[in-house]
Chain A
Amino acid sequence: MGTRALPIVAPGTAQSTAKQEPMGFFTDTSICIGCKACEVACKEWNQLPARGDGGAHLEMSGQSYDNTLRLSGDTWRHVKFVEQFPQPYEGRWLMMSDVCKHCVQAPCLEVCPTGAIIRTEFDTVVIQSDTCNGCRDCIGACPFGVIDINHVSNTAQKCTLCYDRISVGLEPACSKACPTDSIQFGPISELRERAAARVVQLREQGESRAHLYGADPNGPLGGLNSFFLLVDEPEVYGLPREPKMPSRNLVPGSLLSTFGALVMAFVGALTLRASRMRDVARARREDAPRAD
């Protein structure tokens, strides 16, 4: 992954400075039972509506037992149901409680033009709702399709990793509610050790496909502060194999545009000059017989 260390907040923008130990989530999908208690706890604590229209219309997906379907501005936790049924009586469900990944190098934070997206003292990424003006640049920049407009606040919103709760020593609502400890909250270093041990345990039990997604600090986006244990390919869970920083195109795109701009300026100036020279030459030719 070719990521570069750009400054991630504008000079002078407000951000927490008292750095603490990075905190995050480890989501072990192998023990998720798809109860959606995390979704409900998240909505209750953060006072999020059941749907964008306030829950007046219950929409059914019609294609899955999962009717939430995706993360959005008013659904900050979403339990994905991956229904793998090649034969009617042969198959399995994979459950994964998806959430903002709180990337160590966060694409949303990188592109935000108002400074609304900040990194907290817990190394998490939070959108300040009173600063966001809903330009939606962060939505297109997020490699995981996490961010969306909340239609109550009309600003971009996503999981805050319960900043208000962890600031006073409480556990985030989703991990507190999780009945199987599929969602675990804690210091990233501890979570990584626990996750690595769990992968070893699963492989010993015969689940050879068990692996961690986003736990490597040298991996894409500098690692994810919300990482996952998966038992299939990332794409099966709707996760990109190689999430990238948007700024990868900044220098080449700008250089190509600058080159094009120079070409346009020179072509315009040269063709205009040539046109005027032809005009002068024609005028001289027309004047010549009269002079004789």
Chain B
Amino acid sequence: MQTDLPSTFFTAPPGFGWPIITYFFLGGIAAGALLLAGLLRLFGTAADRPYIRIASIVALVGAFISVIVLILDLSAPLRFWHMVIQNNTGRLMFKWWSPMSDGIWILTLFSFFALVAVLESLALEDRPRLRGLRFLSRAPFHAVGAIGGIVFGLALAGYTGVLLAVTNRPLWADSSWLGIVFLFSAVSTAIATLLLLSHWRNVDSAITNDWLARFDNVTLVLEFFAIVFFLISLGGAARALLNAWGVVLVLGVIVVGIILPLVIQRRPSHSVVLPAVLVLTGGLLLRMVIMLSSEQIHVSGVQVFR
């Protein structure tokens, strides 16, 4: 028995598998998309409206899928409402010091602002049936909707990493950097998704695409440094990554998902699709590495298996 193992290695895995990986990935894209939509609503022009519509729809669909996946992942899914209402008193359930409780409310408010963003976007299309919603595009509703979307988009992007850090599991609880890593990754994957979908929908605007690529480059550099600081902060617990997951982290997440897209996007006339696909691949692999490398470590009797 090794006596120098961090205390986190003596715990049991909670079984956060593919549903949670899916949520962290799609929820991150949705979160970043509402941030992008909010920024374009506040500082963009009429030419950005197709991008705002796509980003808002991505946010709303992502929120919907996230809610469904989270409910189905519960061992007792029909009791999902116990997260928001105390089943024995009927009062609201909220524990600010529990990131999972915070996350439920963040996702709820995020979904509201994503819906507002989609409705505002549709109302601006001059559809007769939705004329009644045009007030959403006027002050102060427009600014409140955009800022609310930015705030709850960023909150949704970052809280997931904090949730993992506020456990006692190897890797997750051995660092405080997971929240910021997931946040930067959420924004970069959302930019990639918006670039891909706008390309697919033929709404390519050179100016907006240029902004998205520049924003993506800064985000990818920040994500790279956040991952480096995360690995350094792990200390002795980093030994949990001295296996195939460590290789996936270096080659898949850092090289394929960060460095290659950065190199490609430095070329004057680069493809929109390739770097976006690489960034999305890296974002998914990041969540797989973080979740599954910790999940496979478990205590059994007196032995710690890895």
The A65-96 residues at the B interface (CB cut-off 8 A) are: 66, 68-70, 78, 80-82
Per-residue contact bits, chain B 9-46, to A (CB 8 Å; 1 contact, 0 not):
11111111000000000000000000110011011110
Q: Does B194 contact A (CB under 8 A)?
A: no
Given known pairs A7-B97, A142-B12, A268-B35, the reply for A275 and B214 (CB within 8 Å) is yes
User: Which single residue of chain B is at the shortest CB-CB distance from A96?
Assistant: B302
Give Cα A60 to B210, complex, Å: 61
User: Which single residue of chain A is at the shortest CB-CB distance from B186?
Assistant: A264
Q: Does B110 contact A (CB under 8 A)?
A: no
Query: Is A115 within 8 A of B93, CB to CB?
Result: yes
User: Which single residue of chain A is at the shortest CB-CB distance from B158?
Assistant: A257
Q: Does B154 contact A (CB under 8 A)?
A: yes
Given known pairs A253-B178, A254-B179, A261-B155, the reply for A275 and B165 (CB within 8 Å) is no
Query: Is B39 within 8 A of A155, CB to CB?
Result: no
Query: Is A144 within 8 A of B11, CB to CB?
Result: yes
Question: Which of A20-28, A172-180, A237-245 is the contact stretch?
Answer: A237-245
Residues of A within 8 A of B79 (CB): 114, 131-134
Give Cα A275 to B215, complex, Å: 10
Quote the shortest CB–CB distance from A234 to chain B (angstroms): 8
Q: Does A35 contact B (CB under 8 A)?
A: no
Given known pairs A132-B76, A244-B168, A256-B180, the reply for A265 and B86 (CB within 8 Å) is no
Given known pairs A116-B82, A264-B35, the reply for A145 and B299 (CB within 8 Å) is yes
Select which of B14, B75, B159, B187 is within 8 A of A257 by beta carbon.
B159
Residues of A within 8 A of B80 (CB): 133
Given known pairs A134-B75, A135-B74, the reply for A275 and B207 (CB within 8 Å) is yes
Given known pairs A140-B13, A238-B10, the reply for A133 and B82 (CB within 8 Å) is yes
Query: Is A236 within 8 A of B11, CB to CB?
Result: no
Query: Is A12 within 8 A of B99, CB to CB?
Result: no
Quote the shortest CB–CB distance from A28 to chain B (angstroms): 18
The A199-238 residues at the B interface (CB cut-off 8 A) are: 233, 235-238
Per-residue contact bits, chain B 42-53, to A (CB 8 Å; 1 contact, 0 not):
111100000000
Query: Is A80 within 8 A of B301, CB to CB?
Result: yes
Q: Does B115 contact A (CB under 8 A)?
A: no
User: Could you tell me how many residues of chain B have their Cβ less than 8 Å away from some Cβ of chain A?
Assistant: 86
Give Cα A81 to B76, complex, Å: 34
Give Cα A114 to B179, complex, Å: 23
Quote the shortest CB–CB distance from B194 to chain A (angstroms): 12
Query: Is B5 within 8 A of A273, CB to CB?
Result: no
Given known pairs A113-B93, A140-B13, the reply for A80 and B302 (CB within 8 Å) is yes
User: Which single residue of chain B is at the shortest CB-CB distance from A6?
Assistant: B97
Query: Is A257 within 8 A of B15, CB to CB?
Result: no
Given known pairs A149-B15, A279-B207, the reply for A70 and B299 (CB within 8 Å) is yes
The B75-89 residues at the A interface (CB cut-off 8 A) are: 75-77, 79-80, 82-83, 86-89
Give Cα A243 to B173, complex, Å: 12
Give Cα A160 to B214, complex, Å: 56
Q: Does B108 contact A (CB under 8 A)?
A: no
Select which of A115, A137, A265 is within 8 A of B150 by beta carbon.
A265
Give Cα A249 to B39, complex, Å: 30
Give Cα A259 to B43, complex, Å: 22
Query: Is B1 within 8 A of A236, CB to CB?
Result: yes
Q: Does B7 contact A (CB under 8 A)?
A: yes
The A243-275 residues at the B interface (CB cut-off 8 A) are: 243-244, 246-247, 249-250, 252-254, 256-261, 263-265, 267-269, 271-273, 275
Residues of B within 8 A of A247 (CB): 97, 166
Give Cα A269 to B146, complex, Å: 12
Query: Is B10 within 8 A of A134, CB to CB?
Result: no
Residues of A within 8 A of B168 (CB): 107, 140-143, 243-244, 246
Q: Does A130 contact B (CB under 8 A)?
A: yes
Query: Is A70 within 8 A of B300, CB to CB?
Result: yes
Query: Is A272 within 8 A of B43, CB to CB?
Result: yes
Give Cα A275 to B36, complex, Å: 14
Query: Is A133 within 8 A of B301, CB to CB?
Result: no
Q: Does B169 contact A (CB under 8 A)?
A: yes
Which residue of B8, B82, B91, B169 has the most chain A CB atoms within 10 A of its CB atom?
A: B82
Per-residue contact bits, chain A 152-184, to B (CB 8 Å; 1 contact, 0 not):
001110000000000000000000000000000
Given A260-B183, A260-B222, A267-B222, list of 11 further CB < 8 A pairs?
A13-B88, A70-B299, A113-B95, A132-B79, A133-B79, A134-B79, A238-B299, A239-B10, A273-B43, A275-B207, A276-B44
* A–B pairs, 15, beta carbons within 8 Å: A7-B97, A10-B93, A10-B101, A13-B89, A113-B104, A133-B75, A241-B3, A243-B168, A253-B176, A253-B177, A257-B161, A261-B183, A267-B222, A275-B210, A276-B207
5 residue pairs, one from A and one from B, having the closest CB atoms: A134-B75, A257-B179, A257-B158, A145-B12, A133-B79
Q: Which residues of A are interface residues toward B (Cβ below 8 A)? A: 6-7, 10, 12-14, 61, 64, 66, 68-70, 78, 80-82, 107, 110-116, 128, 130-137, 139-149, 154-156, 233, 235-244, 246-247, 249-250, 252-254, 256-261, 263-265, 267-269, 271-273, 275-276, 279
